[in-house]
Structure 1
Amino acid sequence: MNPIIDVQNLTASFKDKKGKTFIRVVNDVSFQVQEEEIFGLLGPNGAGKSSIIRMICGLLIPKSGGIFIKGISYQKRMESLKYISTVLEGNRNLYWRMTVKENISYFAGNRGIQFKEIKDQADEWLRLFGLEEKKSELVGNLSRGMQQKVAITVALCLNTKVILLDEPTLGLDVKTTNELKKILTKIRNEFKKTIIISTHDMKLVEEICDRVVIIDRGKKIVEDTVEKLMELFQIKTYAMSVKGGEISEKKLNRIVRQFPEFSYDSTSGLYRVDISNTTSFYAFIELLKKEKVYIDSIEPDRLDFEKIFTILCERNQVDAVHVQE
């Protein structure tokens, strides 16, 4: 199956604050996005995520590498970018002194689309987002959550195959964030859109993304399905309770010498350990028996995606200079 977005060996550099030295912020990054999937682009602050988003949507020119949208090179921007609409972080693609309807009309007009051609479609999206009574209000008078919904509505009205969302839940309350999760899933499932999300919201990723690529210090450190990453760490991490509640400090120190990942979680009252293979698991159990530590319960520990993200970034030993995005 041909990807709808194909990023190949992408590299980008910016000048430092003094304007004398170029600093590489995206370093040989490649990944693919398939049609009708929700794809997460993740990384710490300054990792290069927003630079990649800007290159995909044509706002930043790569130093080297290729971006293909429906098989068309980014170098043919007028042709390739007709497949993409973008919602930038901070709602920067809205005019606050225009009404909701005027924003839709303006941005559609930029794509050569008359508002009368998309009026019914726009009304449908406004109803879905609960904005039908707000279409004559100035965007600047709306709440942050409503502004975000307007920005996504504008993107949807352009009727593109791909929607890029840069930090879609930033500044939203829990209720609005949960609404947005349901809407994005509906957009993919019922309207057959491909959605790319650049975000720090790991709960959002865990709940709605199909696959992710994690960027750290400008380099890709992993690309896989959310399900496989969750399974990988579930298998290797165990949580247990012991008789007596806690292990003495001396015994704990001896166990940690052989299993450095063994630790106590005071919040849950459980001990946790990472086990790399079956042999190590049996060796760990034998060590507990030797130390006369008796287990009350032990089971695979389900980590949330935020913890997995942290573990993967901590394991990344790439020695690269990076700047804030």
Structure 2
Amino acid sequence: MIEVNNLNKFYKNKQVLFDFNTTIDLDESCIYGLLGPNGAGKTTFIKVLTGLLDYSSGSIQVDGENNYLKWCKENMVLIPAGERGLRYKNTVYDNIMFFAAMKGIQERGVKNLIEKYTEALQFSKFLNRRVETLSMGEKKKAMLLCGLCTDMKVLIMDEPSNGLDIESQVEMKMLIRDLAESYKKTFIISSHDLEFFNEMVKHYIFIFKGKNAGEVERTMGTEEIREIYMKKRREMENEGLF
């Protein structure tokens, strides 16, 4: 269990996270959705969660222990927005080996992971392609494959639907859902795309103005997500935060 307690984050004099609290259950494979408008603090939160940014005050613990930074390096990987993490002139295979090495995965173990996950993603024929030759949807799958081949328990994805057409979005949703169920992975996905979360996410965290505006623990359709989203926004407006 990851416990986030009264987390605050400042960039110089600007505060972007405000007394943020949430818990993430790691015992059950689950898809968590961080939903909020652009600039709400979603990306800052996931960068703090992955240890890429330090927080100003508060705490993050796993099972009550205070060794969170060590734990997240050994169990969590961030798949960033866009395709910024990929090296365009290198092949997909070379990118996988690079990111796995960054996480300390031995070459023999990486090759076994590549075999397992390329089959799951039906991506074997793209391994020796240079990233710059791939379509947007293929680049997104390559990034997901790089994340999977680090063998981390928790995969955090920032705006995975950006730039994808409808068919590619549907395919990505199905892949995430199948991977969570088949390989017991926990996904934490940040997005402002209500449609992408439809019937996929099992636990919603609504984020507005750097605050946790509330959570819903069930799968929902687009209309219900929209209704709750707008209700949370109105509540924040009534508190004078918009």
Q: TM-score, normalization: structure 2?
A: 0.91
Q: Indicate yes or no: 2:223 matched with 1:319.
A: no
Tell me, in whole angstroms, the C-alpha distance in 2 between the residues paired with 1:101 and 1:218: 37
Aligned residues of 1:57 and 1:86 also touching (Cα < 8 A): yes
Q: 1:39 aligns with which of 17, 32, 35?
A: 32
**Consecutive unaligned residues in structure 1, runs of 5 or more:** 16-21, 231-301
1:72–1:163 CA distance, 2 compared to 1 (3 A): farther
| One-letter amino acid of the structure 2 residue matched with residue 30 of structure 1 | N
2:59 is aligned with 1:66: yes
- Give the distance between the partners of 1:72 and 1:153, measured in 2 at CA: 30
CA spacing shift, 1:70–1:103, aligned 2, 3 Å: farther
Moved more, 146-155 or 123-132: 123-132
Deviations, residues 49-86 of structure 1 (Å, cap 9, x unaligned): 1100000011111000112245543x652343211011
Structure 1 equivalent of residue 169 of structure 2: 177
Distance 1:76 1:41, change over 3 A: closer
Q: Deviations over 1:82-117 (max 9, x none)?
A: 110110111222111111000111111112212222
Alignment of 1:21-100 (within 5 A): 22-35=13-26, 36-69=29-62, 71-73=64-66, 77-100=69-92
Q: Over the residues paired in the alignment, what is the CA RMSD in angstroms?
A: 1.9
Aligned CA distance change for structure 1 residues 76 and 311 (closer, same or farther; 3 Å)? closer
Percent identical pairs in the alignment equals 29
1:23: Cα distance to partner?
1.4
Task: Output the TM-score relative to the length of structure 1.
Answer: 0.69
Unpaired runs of 5+ residues, structure 2, are none
Please give the alpha-carbon distance, in whole angstroms, between the structure 2 residues aligned to 1:97 and 1:41. Answer: 32
Which 10-residue stretch deviates more, 153-162 or 312-321? 312-321
Contact 1:188/1:194 (8 A) holds in 2 = yes
| Alpha-carbon contact 1:105-1:114 (below 8 Å) kept | no
Query: Which gives a bigger RCO, structure 1 or 2 (Cα 8 Å, sep 6+)?
Result: 2
Measured after TM superposition, the shift of residue 198 of structure 1 is 0.4
Contact 2:21 2:212 in 1 (8 A): yes
Question: How many residues are aligned here?
Answer: 239
| Preserved CA contact (<8 Å) 1:221 1:312 | yes
